[in-house]
Amino acid sequence: MMTSKFVVGQAVNFSKKYPWMSGGPYEVVSVLPPDRDDSTTYRVKSQVEPFARAANEADLIAVDLAPVGQTAPVGWADLLSQRSGPTRSR
């Protein structure tokens, strides 16, 4: 089993070999199961796009969004993990 290079909530961008992918920075929303080549794939989300993308680990690079001495902004993973109130079932 391979370990993941990126973690949920981490800021990433597509590598320079994908210059048309300018919707970043992206946030890792989830780690997907390994594909047939046993490479790790991630679901990433940009705040400027209404959809999430799947990206191979080799196509992503880490991004540091927080200036020195400040905390990073709230990300999609943070929002998804928060409860919005009581859950009702029928």
What pLDDT was estimated at residue 90? 60
| Mean pLDDT over the full length of the chain | 76
Phi, psi of 39 (to 5 degrees): -95, 150
Domain that holds residue 16: 1-65
What pLDDT was estimated at residue 75? 57
In a domain, 46, yes or no: yes
Question: How many residues comprise the chain?
Answer: 90
Average pLDDT of the residues in 9-15: 90
- Contact in structure between 12 and 62 (CB atoms under 8 Å): yes
CATH (domain of 17): 2.30.30.390
Total tally of structural domains belonging to the chain: 1
pTM above 0.85, yes or no: no
* Three-state secondary-structure class, residue 54: strand
